[in-house]
Amino acid sequence: MSSVSTVPDPTSWEIPPSLNPRGTVLLLPGRGEDPRLYERLGARIAADAYRVRAVADPSRWPREAARQVKEALADGEPAKPLVLAGSDAGALFAVGLVAAGEVEVDALVLAGLPTKDVAASQPADWSEELGSRTACPTHQGRLAEPGRLERGALYAPLPREWYDRADLSKVSVPVLGLHGAADPVSPPAAARTAYAAAPRAELVTLADGRHDAFNDLSHRTAAATVVLFLERLRLGADLAPIAISEELPR
């Protein structure tokens, strides 16, 4: 495991200077992850005029991560809609913040949401951990870079109270879930049950996807799905459709 002990500063991706901001996305990373690992997702969403800021890993620094989120929300007048996103432990932590009323946002975007009824995975070797996180060779290479990931963190159990706090039935804002169909850490069947408790949730399953739905082989599709959700959210919390698939006569 890495011995990283310094809380990282938030990492930001700004919109092109020629564009007006369309919203703000705050991202909580997964277990052991440096916020810079979300560069691909952040850059793509920022290119569509949504400001993106990734904060510290809450599994290592829960107080500091919560503080960074709250400071970002209070920083001037962030462009709306305000969306709190998270991956793995970051997703669970994000739900807890909103369900407990600690932060007020317009929506949640969650990837690889852990489920309370699944026991913590057994420790694996490095190659197995990489394969559980993502099947994308480019992202696997980034995870292997020094200082980017605390190895073995994916198998560390999360505090039981996090699961109690992360009650999606208490989340009134729209929720978008992204989940790998082959997620070995958080089985899709258990995730479906968790999302079903939310008053307003949409769950998108990514074919053959692993645990890190934001950074897997289908990372472009994941980013596009998030942008489509954000565009609908801008029209209102009822998430009215913008692009409608037509059933053609045969």
Judged against a pLDDT cut of 50, whether residue 1 lies above it is answered with no
Residue 100 lies in a domain: yes
Strand partners, 12: 53
Angle between helices 219-234 and 39-47 (to 10 degrees): 40
Average pLDDT, the chain: 93
CA distance 41 to 220: 8
Helix (H, G, I), strand (E, B) or coil at 191: helix
SS3 content of the chain, % helix, strand, coil (to 5): 35, 15, 50
Work out how many domains the chain is built from and give that number.
1
- Are 23 and 81 in contact by the 8 Å Cβ rule? The answer is yes
Q: Examine residue 250 and state whether it is found in any structural domain, yes or no.
A: no
- Burial per residue of 220-237, b for 16 or more beta-carbon CB atoms within 10 angstroms, e otherwise: ebbbebbbebbbbbeeee
Task: Report the SS3 class of residue 32.
Answer: coil
Over 70: is that where the pLDDT of 117 sits? Answer: no
Q: Which two tokens stand for residue 36?
A: 């810079």
Under the banding of pLDDT at 50, 70 and 90, the label for residue 119 is: low
What CATH number does residue 85 fall under? 3.40.50.1820
DSSP letter (8 states) at residue 168 = G
Residue type, 50: Y
Determine, yes or no, domain membership for 3.
Answer: no
pLDDT of residue 125: 86
What value does the mean pLDDT take over residues 179-193?
95
Asked, for residue 146, whether it belongs to a domain, the answer is yes
Residue 92 lies in a domain: yes
| Residue ranges making up the domain that contains 172 | 11-234
Task: Look at the pTM and tell me if it is higher than 0.85.
Answer: yes
DSSP SS3 for 99: helix
CA angle 190, 194, 197 (to 5 degrees): 145
In a domain, 4, yes or no: no
Distance of CA 207 to the CA centre of its chain: 18
Residue 5 domain-assigned? Answer: no
- For residue 2, tell me if it sits in a domain: no
Give the pLDDT confidence of 26-39 residue by residue, as tens digits: 999 999 999 999 99
